């Protein structure tokens, strides 16, 4: 078992596929009872079956992270079922429309920011309240991206949302450090997920993006999940306010000669 996680209660938003599902299963293997939140019931229930196969109990709650009332209810249902909340992975997110700013609609901007940034803020708000109510202590991981550290032409809303998550993570970590609540973020490069398939599915685009990753491949959801579980565990007990990059060397090569 991973130190400090056995018997804990965890929450994963956006846990219906990809990195969220991988994290939910890996947390379960570490002994965590897992609540999975998402907007797709069949996929959410599939994740819970995998959680139970991994050896712990789980609960799926349908929730839209951009709505305060639904996050409030999500935390309430978590506590009603398992009694507390110890760790959380705020993973839910969308890519939005990757188009130049002059072609981006206000509706798309609002939806991307609402889910990717406001959604993380709402989750933090209610998760931290519950952890403080319990007496403090806990670990939260937010989903950022390497696009939270660099720009990407045609992805203004997405980049803005992920830059925001990194700033939000730092502020929340400082506010709650003395309460024993550690708050960090993960910043993946391109990962083999449905989102990546939508964004980089065309052969020419896939080839270009792959070439930006010196390691020579896209990451796997399980590789990001391993980092999430580590950040939630006692092994990362001195880490807070940090953004952990998992990008196959992408950022290391940003200033290299072409």
What domains appear along the chain, each with residue ranges and CATH number? 9-189+221-248 (3.40.50.720)
β-partners of residue 61 are 37
Compute the distance between CA of residue 139 and CA of residue 90 in angstroms, rounded to an integer.
11
Tell me if residue 158 is catalytic.
Answer: yes
The pLDDT score that the predictor gives to residue 202 is: 67
User: pLDDT per position in the chain (258 positions), as tens?
Assistant: 577 899 999 999 999 999 999 999 999 999 999 999 999 999 999 999 999 999 999 999 999 999 999 999 999 999 999 999 999 999 999 988 889 999 999 999 999 999 999 999 999 999 999 999 999 999 999 999 999 999 988 899 999 999 999 999 999 999 999 999 999 999 999 887 777 677 665 677 777 677 777 888 888 999 999 999 999 999 999 999 999 999 989 899 775 544
Beta strands (DSSP E) in the chain are 9-13, 33-38, 58-62, 87-90, 138-143, 181-188, 243-246
Q: Kindly report the CA angle at 134 between 131 and 135, in degrees rounded to 5?
A: 95
The catalytic residue among 89, 121, 126, 158 is 158
Closest CA to 43 of 70, 64, 20: 20
CA torsion, points 36, 194, 159, 123, in degrees to nearest 10?
Answer: -10
**Which positions ≥6 away from 99 have C-beta within 8 Å?**
154
**Which positions ≥6 away from 88 have C-beta within 8 Å?**
10, 11, 12, 13, 123, 127, 138, 139, 140, 141
Compute the distance between CA of residue 110 and CA of residue 118 in angstroms, rounded to an integer.
10
The pLDDT score that the predictor gives to residue 196 is: 64
CA torsion, points 196, 202, 203, 207, in degrees to nearest 10?
Answer: -50
Measured CA to CA in angstroms, residue 180 lies from 136, 137, 244 at distances of 6, 4, 20
Compute the distance between CA of residue 9 and CA of residue 184 in angstroms, rounded to an integer.
18
Compute the distance between CA of residue 2 and CA of residue 234 in angstroms, rounded to an integer.
8
**Block residue for tokens 């992975």:** 89
Q: Kindly report the CA angle at 92 between 149 and 7, in degrees rounded to 5?
A: 110
Q: Contact 33/88 with Cβ under 8 angstroms?
A: no
């Amino acid at each position: 078992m991973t130190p400090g996680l056995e018997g804990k209660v965890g929450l994963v938003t956006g846990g219906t596929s990809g990195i969220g599902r991988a994290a939910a299963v890996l947390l379960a293997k570490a002994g965590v009872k897992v609540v999975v939140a998402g907007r797709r019931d069949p996929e959410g229930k599939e994740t819970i079956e995998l959680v139970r196969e991994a050896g712990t109990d789980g609960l799926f709650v349908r929730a839209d992270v951009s709505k305060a009332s639904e996050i409030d209810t999500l935390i309430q249902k978590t506590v009603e079922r398992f009694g507390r909340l110890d760790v959380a992975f705020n993973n839910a997110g969308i890519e939005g429309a990757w188009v130049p700013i002059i072609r981006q609609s206000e509706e798309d901007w609002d939806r991307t920011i609402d889910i990717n940034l406001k959604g993380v803020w709402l989750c933090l708000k209610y998760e931290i309240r519950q952890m403080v109510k319990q007496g403090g202590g806990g670990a939260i991981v937010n989903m950022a991206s390497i696009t939270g550290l660099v720009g990407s032409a045609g992805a203004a809303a997405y980049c803005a949302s992920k830059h925001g998550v990194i700033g939000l993570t730092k502020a929340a970590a400082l506010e709650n450090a003395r309460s024993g609540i550690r708050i960090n973020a993960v910043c993946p490069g391109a990962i083999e997920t449905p989102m990546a398939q939508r964004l980089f599915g065309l052969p020419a685009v896939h080839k270009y993006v792959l070439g930006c990753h010196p390691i020579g491949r896209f990451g796997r959801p399980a590789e990001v999940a391993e980092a999430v579980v580590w950040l939630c565990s006692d092994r990362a007990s001195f880490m807070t306010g940090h953004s952990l990059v998992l990008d196959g060397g992408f950022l290391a090569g940003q200033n290299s000669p072409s």
